[in-house]
Amino acid sequence: MTEPAADLTRALEGIGVPDRITTPIGTFEFFDGVPRPDTTRNLYDGLDHLRGVEVFLNAVPGASLVAMRRGLRSVGIDGLGVIGITEPRANSGSYFLTPNTETTYATMFIDLHDGPVVIEPPTESLCVVDDFWFRYVADMGIAGPDRGAGGKYLFLPPGYDGAEPEGYFVYRTPTFTNWVVLRALGGVEAIKQTRVYRLSDAASPPEPRFVNLAELTFNTVHANDFSFFEEVDELVQEEPADAIDPERAGQLAAIGIRHGRTFAPDDRLRAILDTAARTAAGISRALVYFPRNREGFVFEDSSWKEAFVGGSHEFLAGHARLLDARTRFHYFATVITPAMAHAQVGAGSAYAYTAEDAQGRILDGGKTYRLTLPPNPPAKNFWSVDVYDTQTRSLLQTDNPYPSLMSLSGTVATEPDGSTVLWFGPTAPSGKESNWIQTVPGKSWFPMLRLYGPLQPWFDKEWQPSELDEVRAS
């Protein structure tokens, strides 16, 4: 039999703490389980740092839309009467998270503080409304209840208890501010069919004013330093306290961000939060460029990665939230809708990206790479490849404002076997100009492959792009 004293000694080893422990956030000293004075201060600094990191990772969605709104406001996209549009299509002039250069976008924010808002999307369109915490509210157009035929969508503010008129697709949203993004298959003229107005003006809706964002230069990407928390505080102050769950609200409150209270950290906490933001931004970049979960990859033994992990627009796997997947997506992308999270055969779009070459090395804008797309790319409509800046996650700024190639252009050459070889580098290989995307020496970059209307071979993993092979000068 084991002596009782020996059992208690072993138990103490599990429930006690040694006099000195070394951790990733510091070395801490105790006297018989009680933290010494310096350790107490350091532990609280460490706790504030950890809370700041967690707030960043969990609040990236909200900060992203605050930055988006600030960017749009800086160029006059503010209020229901003004809609931003990329005419003819998006380019690399401004900082947006991974836009594509193939389609015309329109975007705006609607504010429900002054009452319900009506949106009439274009016909044959793909339009989405997300709330201010970047959660899905509604699809309009082809993926919505109007099925692309057009209709009137009515958005009601939090706590609305008025009548719901007939003739509308009605949605209630947990936040007063909501982001609207519109795409129309008919391009610019189709986008300009959009109407947005107060329900109170339904009898005589005003004409909107369209501002061409493609001609302007501005930033819509959230901060990676202390000001990130100021972006989040802006959102928290505007929206109802119960717009987010108690757990996330509690994380925010722990660092001083509370609805109805001034966020005013002292110098100590401000410095800690600045470091926390920079740490969390580094973690976010690891999640984006080098995920450690194989579910984040499209194929076995390949570096091509999924933009959306798990197939849920709420980032749920059963009852569990995929926290890393949520941070990863929102750190380099925008727009939340089930249609993006779970593409269907022949509908929507599929995405794959990579930030490394065939040997697992970081892509270098001063080198030349080759990417081979096998014959018969599984896209009902077309395929495209856009190139992005790894720092800003925005379109790479080069001599060409459209750093992309697509099958619709009619200029991309194919090989005799039906495959397509694309080239990336600071200069075009001789004779390959039509299949080349410029990169920038001294900068990294990453490509994103999009299949519009993905077909069965993509879902069955029967069609697979090559890795990016570095091509050395002969």
**Rounded distance, CA 5 to CA 392, Å?**
61
Residue 140 — very low, low, confident or very high, per pLDDT cuts 50/70/90? very high
Per-residue pLDDT tens digits for 398-409:
999 999 999 988
Sheet holding 369-373, edge to edge: 436-438, 420-425, 369-373, 469-470
Please, what is the end-to-end C-alpha distance for the chain in angstroms?
A: 77
Are the C-beta atoms of residues 467 and 302 closer than 8 Å to each other? yes
Residue 1 — very low, low, confident or very high, per pLDDT cuts 50/70/90? very low
pTM for the structure as a whole: 0.95
Per-residue pLDDT tens digits for 448-458:
999 998 999 99
Per-residue pLDDT tens digits for 149-183:
999 999 999 999 999 999 999 999 999 999 999 99
What is the reported pLDDT for 346? 87
**Rounded distance, CA 211 to CA 109, Å?**
14
- Is pLDDT above 70 for 351? yes
The two three-digit tokens of residue 338, written as one number:
């089930």
Closest among 42, 54, 180, 187 to 120, alpha carbons compared:
180
What percentage of the chain reaches a pLDDT higher than 90? 90
Q: Tell me, what amino acid is at 353?
A: Y
Q: Tell me, what amino acid is at 40?
A: T
What is the reported pLDDT for 205? 96
Residue 340 — very low, low, confident or very high, per pLDDT cuts 50/70/90? confident
Give helix 37-74 / helix 227-238 axis angle, nearest 10°: 70
Strands 20-23 and 125-131 come out as unpaired
Per-residue pLDDT tens digits for 378-422:
999 999 999 999 999 999 999 999 999 999 888 999 999 999 999
Instruction: Please state which of the ranges 100-109, 132-141, 260-269, 343-352 shows the lowest mean pLDDT.
Output: 343-352
